[in-house]
A and B are shown apart, each in its own frame.
Chain A
């Protein structure tokens, strides 16, 4: 089936999402939505092998609860991208706002430039589900707060704030699963209580290399320059700290 092109200029979000859902239910596998500007919930809760190109700035909660589709955003994204998404791929060819990948449980989010506050908080992993966020720029405070699984890879390379530290305060606070990888290192005073930055090991580098290559392919960048600096790892110092609270061993 051929690509469905939708002009979203001045179209209210409910109407736009209804068009998308009806077309998807009728079997459309490829969408190009042009003049997107602020419409909320695009591709939210959609399932299956569907591809989107969004031209413009999609609104809040892009791809929330999404399971499967892939989305390429030609523009910046706002807040709440990939909220609780389950599977699929989002690539933002620009910057993104706050709470990206909140409680994400699978799939990948690549943002070429800076991301906002509270990115990847509450991420979790289980068996084959392993969510990954790669941000090419810098991040705000609370990156990976309460993280329980998956990986966040922060590059700090493509940024609109050259003078800022690569991440904000309270990085990884309360995390008890998963790992945050930071290119070139991070000031330990920015980390949440009890956390440390240590060199990434071989298994970490395998994961980082795989995503660096895919990230470079996605945005036409040079993977070698991404990998030209060492990465540090921030991982939790405890595992399931409350695991025995209700069922004592």
Chain B
């Protein structure tokens, strides 16, 4: 092996992923300009090969319908996905997602959104599934069989993502025209995958969305475990598993967000050994039952659903995460400076403990 010539004088790619999230506990709407500015300030954490946002509260006129955001390279793939939607749902509206021509965004896919409701007992297949499981099954079916990809499928929320810096992606999707009570954002590319539109963060299923700084090295076992539960990983990168694990553990198995966090980032065995007997048995059972859902590797993740924003680090804090509060808003980010860009005066700034979720719920 030989060192590159002038090895001391090269422009190292110093990117390292940036995540930002904000929630307004009173559901006041926050304009898109805020998460965009925050992500802009962390431009150097990204590399232009991935950017995206998730927004909650953006479709109040269709709040009772599942909002399917679908991307496809060509019309035939989109048509195939649309046919599946029409076969499985009542489609109330279908429209291109509004976009702008942006110099930096080259060859974007076709992006459409569909507002759908389920068809009661008239289903072509999966008659035995609950409504949410049925929606999940349709998402998996489209992703696996059509060449189109569903990039969000929740109610009154949406993901917007692609190849580019987050500010370019925001410009492309005209996110300055949206307001939401929860926003998350991400820059840099999907782990271990060439940057591609489906692989950008956030990853979503139903109301869940996740942005992630790090690398899930347990992807293989997580993916196979999810496969046993009818979740098909098709997006070719690690973070996808977290979205589906959240849905499985919390929605289907009834774990709380705190308990799911113990599955993702469990206490060390020596800590379990020191617990009182009953607690020791509970944590041992949790680790044994959900060993295949443990997330190995470094992560700082921001998870949102329609009622909450949650930040979680791997248990030895291999990625940065800070939180801050100002009035009704709570922020979570890779860097404090990105929060101060959009909110210079903060009531409180702190770093959540590694492995312990910081969960902020909206008020009822």
Report chain B residues within 8 Å CB of A118: 317
Mark interface residues in B302-332 (1 if CB within 8 Å of A CB, else 0): 0000000000000011001010000000000
| Alpha-carbon separation in the docked complex, A160 to B340 (Å) | 19
Q: Is the CB of A38 within 8 A of B335?
A: yes
Report chain B residues within 8 Å CB of A56: 337, 340
Give the shortest distance, in Å, between A97 (CB) and chain B (any CB): 6
B255 in the interface (beta carbon within 8 A):
no
Among B42, B340, B354, contact of A117 (Cβ-Cβ < 8 Å): B354
| Alpha-carbon separation in the docked complex, A118 to B351 (Å) | 14
Q: For window 175-189 of chain A, which residues contact chain B by CB distance below 8 Å? A: 189
Cβ-Cβ contact count across A and B, 8 Å cutoff: 64
Q: How large is the interface on A (under 10, 10 to 19, 20 to 34, 35 or more residues)?
A: 20 to 34
Q: Is the CB of A141 within 8 A of B316?
A: yes
Q: Is the CB of A76 within 8 A of B335?
A: no
| Alpha-carbon separation in the docked complex, A95 to B336 (Å) | 11
Report chain A residues within 8 Å CB of B335: 38, 59-60, 78
Q: For window 24-50 of chain B, which residues contact chain A by CB distance below 8 Å? A: 41-42, 44
Most buried by A among B274, B336, B341, B349: B336
Report chain B residues within 8 Å CB of A40: 44
Among B317, B320, B338, contact of A38 (Cβ-Cβ < 8 Å): B338
| Alpha-carbon separation in the docked complex, A116 to B319 (Å) | 11
Known: A97-B320, A141-B354. A38 touches B341 (CB 8 A): yes
Report chain A residues within 8 Å CB of B42: 38
A87 in the interface (beta carbon within 8 A):
no
Mark interface residues in A136-177 (1 if CB within 8 Å of B CB, else 0): 000011100000000000000000110010001100000000
Q: Is the CB of A141 within 8 A of B41?
A: no
A37 in the interface (beta carbon within 8 A):
yes
Report chain B residues within 8 Å CB of A212: none
Q: Is the CB of B317 within 8 A of A78?
A: no
Q: Is the CB of B351 within 8 A of A38?
A: no
| Alpha-carbon separation in the docked complex, A27 to B320 (Å) | 37
Q: How large is the interface on B (under 10, 10 to 19, 20 to 34, 35 or more residues)?
A: 20 to 34
Q: Is the CB of A97 within 8 A of B351?
A: yes
A86 in the interface (beta carbon within 8 A):
no
| Alpha-carbon separation in the docked complex, A59 to B349 (Å) | 15
Report chain B residues within 8 Å CB of A79: 320
Chain A residue nearest to B43 (CB atoms) is A12
Most buried by B among A56, A114, A117, A142: A117
Chain B residue nearest to A58 (CB atoms) is B337
Report chain A residues within 8 Å CB of B338: 38
Q: Is the CB of A38 within 8 A of B337?
A: yes
| Alpha-carbon separation in the docked complex, A37 to B40 (Å) | 13
Q: Is the CB of A37 within 8 A of B317?
A: no
Give the shortest distance, in Å, between B339 (CB) and chain A (any CB): 9
Known: A38-B335, A59-B337. A140 touches B354 (CB 8 A): yes
Q: Is the CB of B350 within 8 A of A161?
A: yes
Known: A98-B317, A141-B316. A57 touches B336 (CB 8 A): yes
Q: For window 113-138 of chain A, which residues contact chain B by CB distance below 8 Å? A: 114, 116-118
Q: Is the CB of A160 within 8 A of B350?
A: yes
Known: A57-B340, A59-B335, A117-B317. A38 touches B350 (CB 8 A): no
B353 in the interface (beta carbon within 8 A):
yes
B348 in the interface (beta carbon within 8 A):
yes
Report chain A residues within 8 Å CB of B322: 97
Most buried by B among A57, A79, A141, A168: A57
Report chain B residues within 8 Å CB of A168: 354
Report chain B residues within 8 Å CB of A140: 317, 351, 353-354
Mark interface residues in A62-102 (1 if CB within 8 Å of B CB, else 0): 00000000000000101100000000000000010110000
Give the shortest distance, in Å, between B277 (CB) and chain A (any CB): 19
Q: Is the CB of A116 within 8 A of B317?
A: yes
| Alpha-carbon separation in the docked complex, A95 to B322 (Å) | 11
- Given A38-B341, A168-B354, 8 further pairs, Cβ under 8 A: A37-B341, A40-B44, A95-B349, A117-B317, A118-B317, A141-B316, A141-B354, A161-B350
25 intermolecular pairs with C-beta atoms under 8 Å apart: A37-B41, A37-B337, A38-B336, A38-B338, A38-B341, A40-B44, A57-B337, A57-B340, A76-B336, A78-B335, A95-B349, A97-B320, A97-B322, A116-B317, A117-B316, A117-B354, A140-B351, A140-B353, A141-B317, A160-B348, A160-B349, A160-B350, A164-B353, A168-B354, A189-B274
Task: For the complex of A and B, list the 9 residue pairs with the smallest distance between their C-beta atoms, beginning with the closest.
Answer: A38-B337, A117-B317, A37-B337, A57-B337, A160-B350, A57-B336, A37-B340, A116-B351, A79-B320
